[in-house]
Amino acid sequence: MLDRLNQAMEHIEARLDQTVEASELARITATSEYHFRRLFSSLAGMPLSEYVRRRRLTVAGAEVLAGEPTLLEIAVRYGYTSGEAFARAFRAWHGIGPGEARRTGAALTSQPRLSFRLTVEGNSTMRYRIIEKDAFRVVGKKARVPLIYQGVNPHIAEHIASVPPETMLRIAGFSDGDPEGIISATVRLSDGFEEGSELDYYHAVVSTSAAVEVPGDLDVLDCPAGTWAVFENTGPFPQALQQMWGDVAAQWMPSNPYEYRPGPEILRTRPAKDDPALNDAQLWIPVARTTG
């Protein structure tokens, strides 16, 4: 998988002055387009489209400083419909207009080429299992929050604190599936994994009883039947969980015959039995087995 990811990066480099199709990159990596976009964004920390844009402007910047061809020719080569559109994009990335950069030889911003490698560290053991799960519902209270990679997310903490205790008791009454009890579920609203991208966050439970009517003041997320990879670890919250989330994308996904599929990521945390200062965490990721 890592070799295929790096082949996809070479494909991008060879076509910076052409249209880069995500479907072709998915073909090179023998995955679905959804998985490729998701995995790339997780590993790179930016959406695929943003990486391609930055690389184009980096290469275009070198041509601007070289003194030829004309600025309009450079703009057209890298997909801009006018010199003005190119100048706006150039200034937004480099902090200076292309004409001024050419006249003054200014220092420009560079987006390095990406390559991927697997780093195996001896201090991290990843426990996981693969589960086939029937359709179920996530029932609870939803809020739209920004993604924060490190530390406690204050927007999520505020949402949880805003749910009245009596409402949480009603939500808990719908729990009848695995993982049991109060869980959190997150749905990413784009393929971007950059800090600040938006999520729908559910403070909720898993319910398998589709026939049970849910009150209108609660939010429901339908999850179709499918395969789930369930990861477990124990450590300080939220640091150990955030490390596990990163390890899934950076280490487990490139090394196993599974890919992301659409669906929520579900988290269940409880105080560890042997040490209340630590948390036992289960992270449920919707996956599909690869065919390539």
- Within a domain: residue 115? no
Predicted local confidence at residue 193, as pLDDT: 64
Amino acid in the structure at residue 223: C
The DSSP line for 158-195 is HHHHHS-HHHHHHHHTT--SSSPSSEEEEEESSS--ST
Residues 98, 42 share a domain: yes
List the domain range (segments joined by +) for residue 97: 2-104
Question: 191 and 253 in one domain?
Answer: yes
Q: Are residues 132 and 81 in the same domain?
A: no
Question: 3-state class of 288 per DSSP?
Answer: strand
CATH code, domain with 200: 3.20.80.10
Q: Are 44 and 148 within one domain?
A: no
Residue at 81 is within a domain: yes
pLDDT at position 123 = 45
Instruction: Walk along the chain (292 residues) and give the pLDDT tens digit of each residue.
Output: 778 889 999 999 999 999 999 999 999 998 899 999 888 888 887 889 999 999 999 999 999 999 889 999 999 999 999 999 999 999 999 999 999 999 998 889 999 898 877 555 544 456 889 999 999 999 999 999 998 877 789 999 999 999 999 999 999 999 999 999 999 999 988 766 667 788 999 999 999 988 889 999 999 999 999 999 999 988 888 888 888 888 888 788 887 889 999 999 999 999 988 888 888 899 999 999 987 5
Q: How many domains does the chain have?
A: 2
Is residue 94 located within the same domain as residue 177?
no
The domain boundary, picked from 104, 119, 147, lies at 104
The answer to whether residue 18 sits within a structural domain is yes
Strand partners, 284: 230, 266
- Are 93 and 57 within 8 A, CB to CB? yes
Contact 280, 270 (CB under 8 A): yes
Task: Among 72, 104, 136, identify where a domain stops.
Answer: 104
CATH number of the domain where residue 78 is located: 1.10.10.60
Domain's final residue, options 71, 104, 137: 104
Residue 112, domain member (yes or no): no
- Can you read off the two tokens belonging to residue 166? 């009596």
> Is residue 114 domain-resident?
no
Give yes or no: residues 85 and 156 share one domain.
Answer: no
Q: Identify the pLDDT of residue 126.
A: 64
- Which of 103, 217, 213, 124 lies closest to 164 in space, CA to CA? 217
pLDDT at 209: 87
| Contacts of the segment 272-279: beta carbons below 8 A, 24+ positions apart | 272/234, 277/236, 278/234, 278/235, 278/236, 278/237, 278/240, 279/234, 279/235, 279/236, 279/237, 279/240, 279/241
Answer yes or no: pTM beyond 0.85.
no
Give the pLDDT score at 187. 94
Is 58 found in the same domain as 152?
A: no
